[in-house]
Amino acid sequence: MRNTLATKLITLLSLISLGSHAFAGNLSELEIFERCFKRMVRNIPESNDALWVKVQKGELKGAVACMQLFDKAKIGSSGRIASVNDVQARAILRTFNDFHGSWFQQRVSENGQTQQIRTFGLINDLEEPQLFVTRALFAGKAYRSIVTEKTSLHGVRVRPNDKKNASIFRAQRLVAYPTELTAFTNVNELRIAYRAGANTDREIVPDGRIITVGELVGIKEMPIFTLDSIAVPGRTTAIGSPDISAEARAAASTKVALNESFGGGIVGSPSFIITNANLPPGYKATAPTDELYQTNRVLTSRVYEDLLCHQLPTLTEQDVKDMLIANSPHAFHRQKTCMVCHAQIDPMASVYRNFYVGASAARLEEEGSQQVGLATYAVTRFPATAGAKAYAETAPEGYVRYRPFRSDKVTTTRVTSVAQIGQALSGSKDLYECAAKRYYQFFTGIDVPLQSIPANPKNATAEVKAKLAMDRKHQAFVLQLAKNLQSNQNLRGLVNSIVSSSQFKSRDFQSAVEAK
């Protein structure tokens, strides 16, 4: 009986304690830390957690403890977190890398899960686009580096119960080669088949060049793996347009660095290109009309949507009225409703005209009963040739053209390389507003519009007016976050501003909103 009464009394006291702040406007310092912990670790803190105890004792503010927790996942000069065995650090790194991955629509090409794309993923990190953002956050890189970096990246990963911080496929080999074929010095025994003249040769990929599997514990620059040649076949029949010259095909197919950046950070990442390109592997843009029809416009639409949060079209019919061609044989040239999109994505796509996605070998060759190796896809470029008639062999040029958020003017920047596309994006306020919007939503759940918020409608109710006023305050805060980010390039500082804000401390994220 006493135990029952004691239990009821404890329960009642607990409810009273909770009730004392359940409807209060702001969270306690301990609740602020717990909210932050749940967001970043995706778990609840243990009662003996060192930071939790310090906040409970009043030794640390919730937001300060939150950032100390965040810093456990800091990536040092070694390219790894300080302690690869720190469960919280790994969880935080995983949380944010997953979050950054949600920014990208990429799919594994229209060609499906082919063997070539799977092999490509063993040499190129298919998470590379999000790794650029994760590195900027935890390694202190300038945020602009996600579109200006000149090198490729790969994740450093470890598998549970592995003694070595490397991915060695001892339990599940990629390919089982006959032992009489050769004596292997690399545990993984991964061989890439590639076209060598009229024959197919093979090259062993060193273990250190294979993308690791397991849990992310760091990010490093990609060690380059070069293949002697890939298959870039010429046409055997004429189809009314010039083929790529033999010289250009030879240049694009010889000594191909399979995982080397083309500049421009994400926009020049082989992984971003191959997983978003709409032109199929093996397609060479040769006809003059390819500029209008067969171009990687899906790829460039992803640049605007994934990096700038644009919902195409951003241009208006008024913006494109002078771009129409009344007598054009191409329907979209004659229609304003079509050109509002085409005038934005096609000019950027023309900068990718020289890019070619091909297989290292036309097919999996065999020498008798001995399998040579695995073919892979590769991203390469045809060199621009003076006087060339094939579209993919002409000099790349185009525009980064869009209407910025809340602007009445179109931004147009001429570019002649993928690196210049990235440079143009690095100066766009939309790049930073997009990041601020996403981080704010991640921490608060509030999706802030970046377009202009309309004025109060006539006869608006008090509830509608209050809602619009709240939306403006949220937007003002996000725009200030973006302005600061563009100025200081510090993504960690943006996180600190959010978790230290009155919004984050508010129980419903809104009642204490202040546009500071």
Dump pLDDT digits (tens) for 402-424: 999 999 999 999 999 999 999 99
High-pLDDT (> 90) share of the chain, %: 63
CB 131 within 8 A of CB 228: no
- Indicate whether 159 belongs to any domain: no
Which region holds residue 282: left if phi is over 0, alpha if psi is between -120 and 50, else beta? left
Residues 403 and 485 in one domain: no
Residues 418 and 439 in one domain: no
433 pLDDT tier (thresholds 50, 70, 90): very high
114 versus 11: the higher-pLDDT residue is 114
Tokens standing for residue 38: 């749940």
Residues 403 and 421 in one domain: yes
Residues 344 and 407 in one domain: yes
Residues 454 and 507 in one domain: yes
Among 55-64, 118-127, 286-295, top mean pLDDT goes to 55-64
Task: Choose the final residue of a domain: 406, 427, 448.
Answer: 427
Q: What is the pLDDT of residue 80?
A: 97
Average pLDDT over every residue of 248-254 = 92
Q: What is the pLDDT of residue 484?
A: 99
Nearest to 262 by CA among 270, 274, 254: 270
Check residue 132 and report its DSSP letter: H
Q: What is the pLDDT of residue 365?
A: 47
Taking the C-alpha atoms of residue 205 and residue 375, their distance in angstroms, rounded to an integer, is: 12
Q: Residue 128 pLDDT more than 80?
A: yes
Residues 416 and 439 in one domain: no
High-pLDDT (> 70) share of the chain, %: 82
- pLDDT mean across residues, the chain: 85
Q: What is the pLDDT of residue 364?
A: 53
Q: Residue 216 pLDDT more than 50?
A: yes
Q: What is the pLDDT of residue 362?
A: 65
Q: Which domain holds residue 348?
A: 296-352+397-427
- Indicate whether 200 belongs to any domain: no
Task: Choose the final residue of a domain: 381, 409, 427.
Answer: 427
Taking the C-alpha atoms of residue 129 and residue 152, their distance in angstroms, rounded to an integer, is: 10
295 versus 365: the higher-pLDDT residue is 295
35 versus 335: the higher-pLDDT residue is 35
The model carries a pTM of 0.87
240 pLDDT tier (thresholds 50, 70, 90): low
CB 456 within 8 A of CB 465: yes
pLDDT by residue (tens digit) across 181-205? Answer: 444 455 557 888 887 767 778 888 8
- Sequence-ordered list of residues with C-beta below 8 angstroms from that of 418, at least 6 positions apart, any chain: 262, 263, 264, 267, 268, 351, 352
pLDDT by residue (tens digit) across 365-400? Answer: 444 334 678 889 999 999 999 888 888 999 999 999
- Indicate whether 422 belongs to any domain: yes
Among 98-107, 166-175, 224-233, 259-268, top mean pLDDT goes to 259-268
Q: What is the pLDDT of residue 235?
A: 62
Alpha carbon of residue 308 to chain centroid: 12
- Sequence-ordered list of residues with C-beta below 8 angstroms from that of 296, at least 6 positions apart, any chain: 277, 278, 279, 349, 352, 355
Lowest mean pLDDT among 139-148, 223-232, 277-286: 277-286
CB 177 within 8 A of CB 191: yes
pLDDT by residue (tens digit) across 448-491? Answer: 999 999 999 888 899 999 989 999 999 999 999 999 999 999 99
Among 14-18, 149-153, 156-160, 213-217, top mean pLDDT goes to 149-153
Taking the C-alpha atoms of residue 378 and residue 354, their distance in angstroms, rounded to an integer, is: 14
- Indicate whether 190 belongs to any domain: no
Residues 448 and 493 in one domain: yes
Residues 415 and 439 in one domain: no
Average pLDDT over every residue of 3-17 = 41
- Indicate whether 339 belongs to any domain: yes
Q: Residue 180 pLDDT more than 50?
A: no
